[in-house]
Structure formats: structure tokens, C-alpha cells
Structure 1
Amino acid sequence: MWKQVQKSRKTLLWCVALFTVSMVILVNVTSKCSLRANLTWMKYQIFGKQRLTTEMTIKIHENMTIITAFWDLGSFRKGNGSLEYSAIDYMDWSSVFQRMVNPLVVYTDCLNFKMIMEKYRESFPNKTKVIIIERRKFWSFQIVNNISSVFEQPDYPNFYPNTVLPEYSACQHTKFAVVADALKRDIFRTEFYAWLDIGYFRDIVCDEHYFRLNPPPYIDKGRLCMTKINEFSSNISMESIFKENEVWVGGGMLVATKNIFLKFEKLYKRSVEFFLNLKIMNSDQQIIYGLYSKAGRKHLKPDVELQLFSPVDSQRVGTDNVWFYLGYLCREYV
């Protein structure tokens, strides 16, 4: 009897040790999930995932449609270090869309990504439209050679991937062309629309709660909503914005009405053409900063103004990362 008890205790200790080691490995392998999130993930794998109510899956009761896109650029370096992003990263981050109850429009040129998104959105068939399309259908990818000629100038500064990979720069401009295309197709008729980067909610891929994105509080329907990252400098030159990689607002999430988005897309395209003629180019964030700079306003005369949101507004949200402030401000558990 005593031997059997000792044997059971030994087996239990081995199981506890194995579980502990497994959890340590799991936490260290992926930095995107906290220990609590990993335990939650394991619980749902064992006991079954949270079920959606009939109301969530059938009714389109949200007042904001989300629009996003994925273009397969292969692996590319990000920033000054050794960090690299690949298609696998974006496919992993996109898993958050299976728990977002808003109507969703997705553009991609990757068949694998299309199938993955359709799998993630199988609970929302009437609230999802995945469009597979050749990227060169959009004006922003038709100017890749023009962008490349700017980056190839002697001594043009290298900021990875903004001023090194022309396709990445084009990809950032394409978000505005994609939104305009989706609105012209009139797929989902909601009062507000939002562009959302695929990787915007990368920090909560292990959160199993369903959520919706609402328009931000006190939204001005006559403006385009963005996140303010840094203070605006009234004395900065357009060239410095592009060649020093200066950032004023973040382009990861944009919110506006249909009319404002369509007006802004025309303004944005005109701005890209203007800066290409000046032989300067970077990402969408520099385009927007340049557009609203003192010199930019003089030349481009913007007919759409921005409404900016930032942590200084004293509205507490579920992240300390200023780049993602607007998204978390709009996020609501359901």
C-alpha cells in the first residue's frame, strides 16, 4: 500500500514538473502571451472555445465596418535592429479577427491568407467579405518604380523598411486606395468605417474575449480620426520629415465616415504625387505629416482635417503603447 502511495506521489510530481517546464517553454517561446493568457488558451483548447450568441453571428448591429489588407512582401527588416517580419507573423496576428464582431472587409493577393481569414471568420459569414485581388490594380502599387527611383538617390537615408523597400512604402499608401475601393463597392452600410492594420492588436492574440470596435468618443463626423504619436512641429520642413523619418500621427487605425474617407483618399493620392515630384518619399505617416506641415498646407490645401486622440486625453485604455491608443479606445468587450 505504502509503495503504491509513493509511486502515485512520484508520478504526480513528474506531472507537475512536466507541466511547469512546458509552461516556461511556452511563455519563453512566444512573447505575445502572458502566462495568464497562455493558461486561458490551454483551457479553451481542452474544454472548448467560447460560443457566440445567435445575435452576434446573425445580426449586423455594429455601426462601424473594419477594412484591412495583407500583401505578401516576403520577409523584411523592421527598424534599426535585427527584427524581421514575415507572412507568418501577419497570419498569426490576424487571428484576433475571429473574435471581432464588426463587419469586416479584407483585401489580399495571397490565397493562403484568404483561406485563413475565411476560417477565422466562419462564425460571421454574413459580416465578412474577403477579396483576393492583384495588388497592381491599385494606383499605389503602380508607382513602385517611381518610389524606387527616389530611394536609389545617392545618400538618400535608409530607414528599414520605409525608405529601403519600395513595395512597403506602396503598401502603406494602398490602405487609402483599399478603403476607397471598399466604400465604392458599398459592401456593408454602416455609419462609420475604419482602416485597421492586420497586426494592430498583435498584443492580444491570446485574449479569447469577443469584442467590437466602436467609433471613438466625441467623434467629429467632419474629420479623419488618427492617433497622435508626437507633438506637431510647425517649423519642420517637408524634406526633413521624409529624410529624418519624423512621425506626428500613427497610421495603424483610421476612423471616419464614408464621405470623409473618399475625400481624403483623393487628397492623399495628390499628396503622394506631389512629394514624388519633389523626389522625397517614405511611409503614409510622413505623407500625412508633410501634407499638414506649414509648407504642405500652402501647396496642397487640404480639404479634410484630422481629429487626433492620444493618452494625454486622460482616457484609460488597455495598452500603454501610444501607437495602438485609438484602437484600444474604440475596443469594447461583448
Structure 2
Amino acid sequence: METRNVSICYQDYILTDGWSTDVNYKEPIPPNLMEGSEEYSSRNQSKEITFVTAYFNLGKIVKGPFKTFSTQTYYKWMKNYAFVYNDIILYTDLEDLAIKFKLERSHFPDHMTRIFLRKQNEFWAFGLKQKIEKIYNQPDYPKWYPNTVMASYSCAMHVKYDLIEKVIKEKLVNTKYLAWMDLGYFRGNEKGIFSLKPPQNIKDDHIAFVQIDKYVDMTPKQIMFSNSVFLAGGLFIGRPEYLILLVEDYKKAVDGLIAMNIMNTDQQVLYCMYSLKSQFQPRVPIQRYYSQSRFLWFYLGDICSKNSLFLLRKKTKLREFIASSIFL
């Protein structure tokens, strides 16, 4: 991966001044009490991660005053998936992108890359477009590009949770952990194949996210209008049993926020869900990772890749020890 100057800390980053503030959630449910948990616990699961990603064609996306992203931008970024030695599930509505993605990963076994061509109108998230447009067209609604300007972009952020739900319900995952990862998560020039492993301290009854800013008590309207971010939505990891609950709670939150005539992207919805000043009470707690590096948004991916290197070194040392013992 691209070399990044970060300090790795395999525990929740705990500070005073708001970083360790408790947020809104119910106590986690023991896995054995959850509906459908037997089907996951009975499988011969590896402790690997299956990643879900997607690209749906929205045309050009304007981000701030100087950045414009197009399909070609994502074609460039997705090339880095050629180096990711994990099972990847891709959803897209562009056949050309699907073909190119498959070619980029053609050196891996076929079962490690599954691609599904789907139309946008097949998903709950894109069905919200007209309602979100109506909210954004209010004369006093703040304009944050593209979050509160381009309704289809907001829908594309919500569809992550559609796809996580689809993968789980269609039993497409056999690994212990499942993760969402944006198609453009790797933006440097990756060099050499690497795999992504769960963080050493991952909590099985939590969902792992990167925490971007310290938690501040705000109402849903304040969060949406200020475009505030508490958790990064580019990568999150959990067990399927708990991710399905997160998805259900997320969809309820989106419907509730639309009823309140406010909306933004998934990152603001997550903030609203876990805000102590909201009416929502998610059933799954979050495990927050934080780094002071300027590459904070990619910190969880860095932990996963560096944990892979840690485990590889550990196995190598064990093999060396066994080999040396044979000749003693």
C-alpha cells in the first residue's frame, strides 16, 4: 500500500475533551439470541473479511469549489483493487466498469471477485431520490456540494446499506466479518499484493468505524445543516449478524429524517443515529478508531493492512522456529 505516516494503536483512542464520550445505543444483543445467528455460527467461517463495494453512474460529481469526479476518476482508483487479496463483491450499473474490474483482479481465483450488474431503480436508496430532491430544493436549505445539492449522490451513499443487507440475506458471505469499502478508498499507487485482516482488538458485538471529529451533542437538524461528520462512511466492518441490525436501524433513521424534512449523506445519518439528542436508538454499538495522522479517513484500512503484515511476520517466525528445531 501507499506508505502513510501513522501511529498504529490497537485500541479505541481514548481522550477527554469529547473523544471518549458515550453515544446513543442499546446494549448489544448476545449473538445466540439473534434471529438467524445459528446459520452464521454453524458455518466453518474463517476470520477473514469479505468486502462489498459499488459504483453507480451519477455523471460528474462536484465536490467543493475545485474538485470534479467522473467515471474516469473511479476507473483510476479502482485499479488498486488489483492488489487486494480478499473476497470482493462489486455492484454496478456499468457493464464496462464491471469488465475492467474483473480484468484488474483476473490474477486472483474467480471466486474472490463477484460482480453484479444492477439498475439503480432496483434499490430502496435510489427510490428516495424525489423525496430528497424536494428537501434540497427548499429555499433555505444549506448547500454543501454534493451532499445537499445532488440528491442522487445522497442516494448513492444510502445504497451502501442496501447492498450490505442484500449480501447477507442472499448468503453471499462465508467469512466471519463483512465490510463496506468505497470503490475509491485506495487513491494512491499501491505496490504489491496485500490482504486486509480484522484489527486485533475488534469487538464482535460492535461495528468498527473511523471517528473523524469528536462527538458533540447536536440535534439531527444541526447535524444535517452543518454537514457535520462524526464517523467516516468509507469503510466499516462487522459481523453479518450485527450489520443486518445496523442496516435495519439505518433505514428507519433515514425514513424518520425524511419525515422531519431533513437529509444529507450516510455520514450525517450515522451521526444522527448515535446522537444523544435524537429520537433514534440503534441496537448495535460502534467501535471507534482515531488517529492524529492527516490520513485519518483511511486509518481503519491502514490498521487492517498492517495487521495482515503483523500476522504474516508472526507466521514466518513460527515457520523459521519449527525449521530450526528440526535440525537441532
Q: CA deviation at 1:121?
A: 1.4
1:103 aligns with 2:87: yes
- The 3-state SS of whatever aligns with 1:179 is helix
SS in 2 for 1:209: coil
Counterpart of 1:326 (choices 300, 310, 315) is: 300
For 1:126 and 1:264, the matched residues in 2 are separated by 27
Q: Deviations over 1:145-178 (max 9, x none)?
A: 0010100011100000000000000000000111
Task: Please report the TM-score for the alignment, with normalisation by the length of structure 2.
Answer: 0.78
Contact 2:46 2:176 in 1 (8 A): no
After TM superposition, the runs of 4+ consecutive aligned structure 1 residues lying more than 6 A away are none
Question: Over residues 27-74 of structure 1, what are the superposed CA-to-partner deviations in whole Å (9 max), with x where a residue is unaligned?
Answer: xxxxxx99xxxxxxxxxxxxxxxxxxxxxxxxx977110110001111
Unaligned runs of 5+ in 1: 1-32, 35-59, 313-318
Residue 137 of structure 2 corresponds to which residue in structure 1?
152
Of 238, 241, 247, 2:220 maps to 238
- Counterparts of 2:84 and 2:73, CA distance in 1: 19
Moved more, 121-130 or 157-166: 121-130
Note if contact 1:98-1:121 (Cα within 8 Å) is conserved in structure 2.
Answer: yes
Give the whole-Å Cα distance in 2 for the aligned partners of 1:262 and 1:61. 19
Q: Which has the larger radius of gyration?
A: 1
Whether the 8 Å CA contact 1:62–1:102 is kept in 2: the answer is no
Which among 243, 250, 265 is matched to residue 247 of structure 2?
265
Per the alignment, in what secondary structure is the counterpart of residue 234 of structure 2? Answer: strand
Cα distance in 2 between the residues matched to 1:153 and 1:188 = 42
1:78 aligned residue (63, 66, 71): 63
Tell me which amino acid in the other structure corresponds to 2:285. Answer: E
Q: Is the 8 A contact 2:207 2:284 kept in 1?
A: yes
RMSD value, Cα: 1.7
AA matched with 2:296 = V
In the alignment, the residues of structure 2 paired with residue 247 and residue 326 of structure 1 have an alpha-carbon distance, to the nearest angstrom, of 16
Matched, 1:179 2:153: no
Among 191, 207, 211, which residue is 1:228 paired with? Answer: 211
Do 1:62 and 1:103's aligned partners in 2 also have CA atoms closer than 8 Å?
no
CA contact (8 A) 1:68 1:197 kept: yes
**2:256 aligned with 1:300:** no
SS at match of 1:115: helix
Higher relative contact order (CA 8 A, sep 6+): 2
Q: Residue 311 of structure 1: which of 283, 286, 291 is its match?
A: 291
Structure 2 residue ranges without an equivalent (≥5):
4-44, 313-328
Matching residue of 2:147? 162
Matched residues, number: 265
Flag the 1:238–1:188 CA change in 2: closer, same or farther, 3 A. Answer: closer
> Any conservation in 1 of the 2:121–2:127 contact (CA below 8 Å)?
yes
